[in-house]
Amino acid sequence: MTGSAQAPLRVALLGYGLAGRVFHAPLIAATPGLRLHAVVTRDPQRRQQVRQDHPDARLVDDAELLWRSPEALDLVVVATPNRQHVAMARAALAAGLAVVVDKPLAATATEGRELVDEATRRGVPLTVFQNRRWDGDFLTVRRLVEQGELGRVTRFESRFERWRPTIKPGWRENAAPDEAGGALYDLGAHLIDQAVQLFGPVSHVYAEVDRRRAGAQVDDDAFVALTHAGGVRSHLWMSAAAPQLGPRFRVLGDRAGYTTYGLDPQEDALRDGGRPGDSGWGEVAPERYGQFGVEGDLRPMPTEPGRYQSFYEQVVTALRDGGPMPVDARDSVDTVSLIELAHRSSAEGAVLPVPPSAAR
């Protein structure tokens, strides 16, 4: 890396759609030690948006132009459509540049595994933007689990539901396999990752994956049941066709439970121009706290402040000091493997064992 403790690490952002514009660019700009050096997009409207949002960033038509002068960069962030994740990340690795890939890492576990192997072989850092590990409600669940406040957890319920009855145009609704579209890839990549982070490897998978909206080409409603090797059962719901929303988390232990509603506020704050460091960043109002305890004896449990900024702060530390990246890319390979198994389970109507290679 050519960055130093004095000079910020120079970042190239590939793509300025939802992921690039709402998540990555603002978080990069807000992170000490990083500078948004270049943005790759051909779309005229998005180029104009970059000029407004990040006037000091260089606009680039084609990522190939970046690979000709890799010494001008320290980090590449791949926020392109899913089908381009592997190709773009592989090109950056070949140029010797550290890489952040938006989730999902790849459309298939095989492609993801090959990419991780290539990064290891080249000795170049690779990580995946699993930002919802830093949702405030998830941080709260993690604390309760790790501190034993719930006792022995038996069931973990997690939902990421939306009411979007009208299908929006775009690659996320395209049925081509390499697009990795649909709710299971889009939302399941978060929910599965969170469940495995909390409760460890999975032994069996059962899923129901459906298309509920008229004209849908990809799944827009899914239920996934994971049996963890430690005995916990995770039940995960993801949907774009939910006219009423269930609890975001419901965690049941043999001592207490915890239930909370509503999504972490950081995404909406970023959409509205907010940034880490703003007053109240990532905080949830007391009236939205989850409920902790047992029936008849419930009390509000303060929600931990969300910290999406931690991801890029850890990237800076890793690149400067040689420590671990914030997300082990092998975790994301495992998540894609479980997504593939969930699709197969739904098609076969069966509970499927997780192969040893995917149960790391």
Segment 227-252 shows an average pLDDT of 97
Instruction: Count structural domains, the chain.
Output: 2
We report the CATH number of the domain holding residue 99 as 3.40.50.720
pTM score, two decimals? Answer: 0.94
* Confidence band, pLDDT 50/70/90 cuts, at residue 357: low
Among residues 129, 159, 177, the one where a domain terminates is: 129
- Is residue 153 located within the same domain as residue 226? yes
Whether 358 shows a pLDDT value over 60: the answer reads no
Are residues 211 and 72 both part of a single domain?
A: no
SS (H, E, C) the chain: CCCCCCCCEEEEEECCCHHHHHHHHHHHHHCCCEEEEEEECCCHHHHHHHHHHCCCCEEECCCHHHHCCHHHCCEEEECCCHHHHHHHHHHHHHCCCEEEEECCCCCCHHHHHHHHHHHHHHCCCEEEECHHHHCHHHHHHHHHHHCCCCCCEEEEEEEEECECCCCCCCHHHCCCHHHCCCHHHHCHHHHHHHHHHHHCCEEEEEEEEECCCCCCCCCCEEEEEEEECCCCEEEEEEECECCCCCCCEEEEECCCEEEECCCCCHHHHHHCCCCCCCCCCCCCCHHHCEEEEECCEEEEECCCCCCCHHHHHHHHHHHHHCCCCCCCHHHHHHHHHHHHHHHHHHHHCCCEECCHHHCC
Same domain as 158, residue 90: no
Residue 142 belongs to some domain of the structure: yes
Q: Which CATH number do you get for residue 221?
A: 3.30.360.10
Same domain, 142 and 79: no
> In terms of domains, do 105 and 142 share one?
no
Report residue 4's pLDDT band, with 50, 70 and 90 as the boundaries: very low
Expressed as residue numbers, the domain containing 295 is: 133-307+338-358
Domain match, 97 and 109 both: yes
